[in-house]
A and B are shown apart, each in its own frame.
Chain A
């Protein structure tokens, strides 16, 4: 017989039926159901298939530890695999499918694996797929293709996630994890004491075990107790249902995931699907409850075998009876109340208690209609597609049984004990402590600001859990100085009268059947003993060899049983055998929630120059330069990038071009010691730079390697405007701050980034002077009045008004050129005005592609050459270094490696064959000797309209060794090689005369 809905009972709302779909079939459940309870009520038994053997599986629990009812929910882009039906809130229109089976979970061809089970024991892949067809990698890789297709559980959607997610920062005094009786009381007590409390629970309804409680809370009806507590808390405490606290981190920080739209049939796209909440608390109460264990007996994975409290929860919380004839199995007193609850719901219940002594609770159970069999244990379950029969036997002790008879049952509900949920404490490296008395791990002592209450602390009785929670809440309030009373004694662990029987496995001599420990990964008790026999004595090895505890439940179901069996096999106690460490997340967290808003273009911020919109309107294509968008080229209709760039280069050299240079790093260096600071960091002298002049400077790293270059302008005795490369702006700022704060603390100078405060253009070409004189008439642009490297300030006419401009006569392109900067909010006016004037003069806009070609033609170095490997001398700038003063890196630049003779030095490169091309990054090799690192590399290339394809690079010994000779640019990645001639890097206007005059 299958499960069915009771006529009355449960906290589901029978006034709100919800239609849902299972493997395409329409069914009905109620608001308040989980997918599992709704499937159970509809009579479905086979919900999933095991990973390895493909055995049919049904619902095995009512919580996050579920190992059988693992399904796929949703379709298309919203499809999610490996979802636990037991924790999935039922919503109208929900569509779920079985997985890991073909064609369906009810009829799966994969089941052949079960027949071949003896070949698929733990670790089989270490012992197979070799030796038959060969022992090499090739052979293994053929098997790998087959294994890959068979492996994996469920299939994820390959479509882009249509939902959005966000990250939220929360602060509170006390974070309470779990809204069962302990958590509710802790939150209430703390809130009464004036603390700011967040109470989070992973379930969509608050109350924990009280939602489907077996018995009263003390004398109070659990439903009444619950509704009173919730009413008192609303408004006093921030309640977060559907929110899992998945990890605890340093600094009393908790990671939470809130499933925002989970309960909504048609969620608004304005809501994020999930929120990652980072909670910074001052103290934490863990009221995370405990998870019931099963027992490993013959074929204990048949659909219909589940944990006992879960069976009771389906009856009491969801109003669903899992079956009509139920064999309840227990090793502890807790099983009695659950068996009674099932009998009261109308099932025919036989309770097998592995303990022979007549239990004090047996009488009341019998009065409620339960047949109690002391000393009875389950031996083997029968019914591959749904439990039909259970073989039962006498318990001979230690899990050994003598089979006696078979009973016809549809459900076997097992309680092998309880495991307090100590995972979050484990994240804080607090090792749990084994209790022989309770046959479970209890939370260890800690100095962290964390209190554990309720079943998580081994307290089994509901009223005691509430008292435990209250004590924890008050203790937290007291620790924070909010409450001055005496914290009441918290109830200790326990709640059972008779001690638990530590049974983990039941077996009978000569009786076959797989006894499952970890149903998700199909790990059996034999696998664990096999691991031990093969020498895997450490529990860490046993875990990885058998894969016990490595599925989506991460050991919630099987860890303790596995540990107990390992202990027995190795003749040690459980604590001696050890325990594996729990790590975040407690339950799976979606990648979307972890990524939050950092997706696509928002993975990192995009930085835009002050003229971005205006440059875009001028027709630019953009390229990424770090975080910045930079104008790349300005194609005319039909032009390719190469054509546009060549045209722009020719335009700059023949009339005038305008380029946005706003991304350059700009640093205000201010104070009486400003000149001294610059003098210490640049290799050349800056102390005597006159006001109104700029100078090109190079900085080294402390180890003597070239670091960055730029021009620095002197605005006054005590103020400089320092520019850096775009890429290193932040690095240079950090370096200067570090030096000033830790080494040169006596210097009276401040540095501040002003990169974003100025918009700037370079105006370059023979007509640059003419263009600028018309636009900025209050500056005398003549060569005499405004010599090379001069700095002048003025105003640019814009309509009836003017914008202030700061200019310098600098040239990166090698033409007559000026850089013109204005405060950023005036940037668009600057671009539009200068560009219009340039176009009138026959010129126009140019971008980064042309800019780079222009400087390569001149042999000017950029970050492609100043790449962290090259020295000043390698770059051909050795003469810049002052001999009169020390500067950053001046000592280490002379270390042997940096001054040895045949270091690779800057050279120019041209292809020998007409029209040939080569790539930056190619290795330069002697012709005929293409190997290893060759003699150097190509650092930059350019497609020059006047010179053809040219490049810059580094070759051992530089021009002295190679000028006029040939090298091969070897490009093995692209399977190419080009014969090159080595020339001077100063291709265009080597004397530099075009900049002057």
Chain B
């Protein structure tokens, strides 16, 4: 292993030095010469007809450069959706137009009506107040089921209804599933809400448009998880700028959690306005704007039914979900409740028959899209809650019921279209039981009771699909793009390496973990390898970071490119050593001739590549730079078992997490410290969803949780120390590193563990009528459930 850390080393994150010292370079740190600032006038009503927008007074205000409205974007494309779902009748989804600035109607609080560009932000804000927007307020629809009723207000007048699609999966199995339910010995039913969340990355979104009149080139600096995707979507579908005339740069990005995947109107506006005005235009979201313009997450309402035979084997599963799309279709929105949710409904279990129905619904709310886990937390939560409820109804141990139904043979083809390549659910459950001291629970319960507190233990499993995704598969499923990843490995003359990758790091630690792989392969120090990402001018076309795909897909591309480098370097070494290429071995950065003491160092070979004085020019080109694109042939399937122990204050309903344990199988691990950190962060977000976070609208579509005064984020003292283990490793069978991905696991596995634990605590205290409480399990909700 390289002295400063190869594969498997807990190397400290090199990027943290600049982040912790305040020397990170975020988009808002960038300022272009002569830049102007834009302020968006946003709708304060959820639904209304735009009768007129008079900008004349605003345009005359001091410092104002120009005021734009929806009329300026006639003939410009709308914000596109990247995924098309075909519904259960074979019809394609209803896809409304999404103009950059509102045209005709406003459809949610925060919908941009006009944009004021001025010499300063204050001047832009002052002028925005002088805009006269005459809006005829219309009745708003927020509740999904109400939105599907006849006579409901229509979010989009030109669509037939508020139903985006009605998806059945797998439609051909429905009759068999229904029959299995008719024949079941026991059926457990649960209705639940997966609460709407706001991602709240530490860094709000920022966009700077820049235009080089001399060359006719546009540049967008933006807070994105995938700059190439933004270049493609914005260039091709919105502004009509060919990719060779458009550069997108996403420098240091302070967290995304999904919310910075999508192409947003503000990005298109700044790029458009910079060209129109021949002047850089900058937008920095305030936190209040972030609450009402960043895509929200989750927001599913589900009824799930589990059928069991007389021996407690799962025989069928049936779900009906309403999924909120918000007012427009965000980039990935249609795929979240379908292909990222329906395909995971088998979970860790060999349930033979599954039918999933999803109705996606337009409402007068902010668009909803992928948020850490994206569809998989929703699937896991339903399944692990209904299994827990079934165990209680049947009077069997919830862990034993799970074990009895585990998939144990791999590869395993689920009835919901995916094939798990590998896994060992028994091993992670064994590990979990070892970590949590179940036999000591009764004593801990008694101790809590002495202090007047209730105590409960919740256990669950999860499976997820990462490494998104095989392009040929997602193409069949409605993706309008491929989902490969790319890497260029550029070796310099003196042996140092720059890897340019399409994977974007916005907190994941790629700058540390990616070099560990290359260093290990060549046998040089990791400090000789640098990662560049986030600039379409440097990195080859890549699809970016989401779905825990970076190491599994981007890392694999980097491995393939490094293999090409090594193959070429061996040719050069063979020439230098006057040996046959087949006899060259690479170890610890030395090329040697097998069976001899003849060798040449990595640096000698790289120098020869760029100073080809003694070089086989007729056989090998000079230089040492290779590119690879990697497209996986399957998803990866991380899995695990989680446990949570809680105390509940019966007088106030307040839940305290006493302990939390996670036993994960991520396959091979590159940097275990970074993996620990990813799991910790994921669990914190999952506990946030389970106990604290909720995005709430009132019936008129006003956002009641528009600031941190009302939107409860988890804080350090809400969280316990976690016991985290990833020693159970069944390597992925189809990517070169055997890795699976760890970024979302914590957020997927933890909500059901918390809710199972709280319900367990109440049940043990004799509250046998409490079989479920919807998240977040705030003190008032738990108290209400106990006193219903």
Say whether A and B bind each other. Answer: no
Q: Which residue numbers of A lie inside 8 Å of B, CB to CB? A: none
